[in-house]
Structure 1
Amino acid sequence: MLKRIAQTAGFAGLLAALLLTLLQSLWVTPLILEAETYESAEPVAEHSHAPGAVAHEHHHDADAWAPEDGAQRILFTGLSNLVVAVGFALMLAGLYSLRAPGRIWQGLLWGLAGFATFSLAPAIGLPPELPGTAAAELLLRQYWWVGTAATTAAGLALLAFGGQWWLRLLGLLLLPLPHMVGAPQPEVHESLVPTALSQHFIVTSLLVNALFWAALGLISAWLFGRGQRVS
Structure 2
Amino acid sequence: MPLSASPTASDSFSLGTFKRIVLAAVLAGSVAGVALTAVQGMQVVPLILQAEVYEAAAPDAAQAPEAARPHEHAEAQPAAHEHEDDHHHDANAWQPEDGVERTAYTALANISLGVGFALLLIACISLRDRPTTWRSGLLWGLGGYLTFFVAPSLGLPPEVPGTAGAALGDRQLWWAGTAACTAGGLALLSFARGGIRWAGLALLALPHLIGAPQPVVHSSTAPQELARAFVFATAIANAAFWLCLGACAGHFYKKAA
Per the TM superposition, whether the score is higher than 0.5 is yes
Residue in 2 that maps onto 1:146: 176
CA 1:123–1:57: 2 relative to 1, 3 Å: closer
CA 1:184–1:57: 2 relative to 1, 3 Å: closer
Relative to the length of structure 2, the TM-score reads 0.82
Q: Distance in 1 between matches of 2:118 and 2:181?
A: 20
Q: Distance in 2 between matches of 1:217 and 1:64?
A: 37
| 2:94 aligned with 1:65 | yes
Specify the code of the residue in structure 2 equivalent to 1:3: K
Residue in 2 that maps onto 1:94: 123
Q: 1:112 aligns with which of 120, 142, 155?
A: 142
Residue in 2 that maps onto 1:38: 54
CA distances 1:98-136 after superposition (whole Å, capped 9, x unpaired): 113444311101000000000110011011111100000
Q: Distance in 2 between matches of 1:157 and 1:106?
A: 15
Question: 3-state SS of the aligned residue for 2:234?
Answer: helix
CA distances 1:164-203 after superposition (whole Å, capped 9, x unpaired): 1x22210011101101100000000000000110011011
| 2:213 aligned with 1:213 | no
| 2:36 aligned with 1:25 | no
Q: Distance in 1 between matches of 2:131 and 2:33?
A: 22
Q: Distance in 2 between matches of 1:57 and 1:13?
A: 34
Relative to the length of structure 1, the TM-score reads 0.91
Residue in 2 that maps onto 1:181: 210
Question: 3-state SS of the aligned residue for 1:109?
Answer: helix
Question: 3-state SS of the aligned residue for 2:97?
Answer: coil
Q: How many residues align?
A: 223
1:31 Cα offset (Å): 0.2
- Alignment root-mean-square deviation, CA: 2.0
Residue in 1 that maps onto 2:158: 128
Question: 3-state SS of the aligned residue for 1:64?
Answer: coil
Q: Distance in 2 between matches of 1:136 and 1:107?
A: 36
2:61 and 2:69 in contact (8 A); partners too: yes
Specify the code of the residue in structure 2 equivalent to 1:107: G
Unaligned runs of 5+ in 1: none
Q: Distance in 1 between matches of 2:154 and 2:233?
A: 15
CA 1:73–1:46: 2 relative to 1, 3 Å: closer
Specify the code of the residue in structure 1 equivalent to 2:29: G
Residue in 1 that maps onto 2:113: 84
2:67 and 2:166 in contact (8 A); partners too: no
1:43 and 1:60 in contact (8 A); partners too: no
The sequence identity of aligned pairs, in percent, is 49
2:184 and 2:200 in contact (8 A); partners too: yes
Residue in 2 that maps onto 1:226: 255
CA 1:160–1:63: 2 relative to 1, 3 Å: same
Q: 1:159 aligns with which of 189, 195, 219?
A: 189
Residue in 2 that maps onto 1:14: 30
Q: Distance in 1 between matches of 2:255 and 2:68?
A: 55
2:67 and 2:165 in contact (8 A); partners too: no
Deviates more, 1:124-133 or 1:96-105: 96-105
1:46 and 1:56 in contact (8 A); partners too: no
